[in-house]
C-alpha cells in the first residue's frame, strides 16, 4: 500500500501567517493527490485535487503544488476559519486510497 | 444541492452486526462511484470500501475484507455497508463519500462530497 506521511503533525500559527504543510508519498503518485480540510465534528471538505487544482468555491489563499512523491499545501494568509486539520489523499492506487495522518493547525 | 445522509450507527457488542445506510439526493446517484471512509475517535481517515456506479465492481480494505459488504440500490438512491463480526477496532465515524466526475462524466477518483457521518461503537 502507498503510505502518505504529512509533516508537521501539528503546529501553531497566527492569523495572517503564511503556512505550508508537506505530504510525502512512499512511491511516486504523479499528481494524483487531493487535500481536505476537516473541522471538529464535521466531514472532510475537498480543497484541492490533481495536486494543484482548486476546488470550486475554495478561497484562492489555498494553493497546492508538487508531483511524484513530494507535495505541499500552502495557505497564503491564514484566516480564523482556516484553523482545522488537513489531510492529503493519494488516488494513484485507485481505488485503494490512502490518507496522510493529518496536520492539525492551531491558533498561536 | 448534493446531500449524503448516513444512518444506522450505534452501539454493538464485539462479534455483532450492523447495517449502515447512506441516502443520496441532489444528483444522479446511479452515475457515481461511492465509497465508505471511516475515522476512529481522535484518529485520521481510513478508506474502507468502494463500489462502482452499477455495483458490479467492489473493493475492500484488507482490515474489513471478509467481514464487511458494500452494496447499493440505485432505484432507492441508497448506499449500504453491512458490517459483521465487528471488533473494537471498528469503532469509528463512518462516512459515505462520492467520487468526483470531470466535465465529461468520467470518474476522477477523489471525493467531492461527504455525508455527515454515523458513529459505530463496538464495545461490551
Q: What is the average pLDDT across B41-69? A: 97
Interface test with A, best of B1, B110, B111, B113 (most A CBs within 10 A): B110
Residues of A in contact with B100 (CB under 8 A): 46, 49
Distances, alpha carbon A78 to alpha carbons A7, A15, A62, in Å: 18, 5, 9
Determine the pLDDT at residue B41: 96
Determine the pLDDT at residue B65: 97
Determine the pLDDT at residue B22: 98
Q: Residue B107 — very low, low, confident or very high, per pLDDT cuts 50/70/90?
A: confident
Interface test with B, best of A95, A100, A101, A103 (most B CBs within 10 A): A95
Q: Which residues contact B103 (CB under 8 A, 6 or more apart)?
A: none
Q: List the pLDDT tens digit at each of the 108 positions of chain A.
A: 999 999 999 999 999 999 999 999 999 999 999 999 999 999 999 999 999 999 999 999 999 999 999 999 999 999 999 999 999 999 999 888 999 999 999 988
Q: Do B59 and A96 touch (CB under 8 A)?
A: yes
Per-residue pLDDT of B3-17, as tens digits, reads: 999 999 999 999 999
Separation in Å, CA of B110 to nearest CA in chain A: 7
Mean pLDDT of chain B: 97
Half-sphere exposure of B18 (CA within 13 A, CB side): 24
Amino acid at each position: 500500500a502507498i503510505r502518505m506521511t504529512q509533516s508537521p503533525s501539528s503546529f501553531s500559527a497566527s492569523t495572517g501567517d503564511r503556512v505550508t504543510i508537506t505530504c510525502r508519498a512512499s512511491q511516486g503518485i504523479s499528481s494524483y493527490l487531493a487535500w481536505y480540510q476537516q473541522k471538529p465534528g464535521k466531514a472532510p471538505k475537498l480543497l484541492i485535487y490533481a495536486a494543484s487544482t482548486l476546488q470550486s468555491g475554495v478561497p484562492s489563499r489555498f494553493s497546492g503544488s508538487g508531483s511524484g512523491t513530494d507535495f505541499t499545501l500552502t495557505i497564503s494568509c491564514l484566516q480564523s476559519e482556516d484553523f482545522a486539520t488537513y489531510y492529503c489523499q493519494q488516488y494513484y492506487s485507485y481505488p485503494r486510497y490512502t490518507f496522510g495522518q493529518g496536520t492539525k493547525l492551531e491558533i498561536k | 444541492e448534493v446531500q449524503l445522509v448516513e444512518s444506522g450507527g450505534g452501539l454493538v457488542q464485539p462479534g455483532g452486526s450492523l447495517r449502515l445506510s447512506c441516502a443520496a439526493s441532489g444528483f444522479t446517484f446511479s452515475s457515481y462511484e461511492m465509497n465508505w471512509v471511516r475515522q476512529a475517535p481522535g484518529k485520521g481517515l481510513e478508506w474502507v470500501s468502494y463500489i462502482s456506479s452499477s455495483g458490479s465492481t467492489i473493493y475492500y480494505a484488507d482490515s474489513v475484507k471478509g467481514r464487511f459488504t458494500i452494496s447499493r440500490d440505485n432505484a432507492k438512491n441508497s448506499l449500504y455497508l453491512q458490517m459483521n463480526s465487528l471488533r473494537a477496532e471498528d469503532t469509528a465515524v463512518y462516512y459515505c463519500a462520492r467520487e468526483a466526475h470531470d466535465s465529461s462524466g468520467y470518474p476522477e477518483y477523489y471525493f467531492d462530497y461527504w455525508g455527515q457521518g454515523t458513529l459505530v461503537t463496538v464495545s461490551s
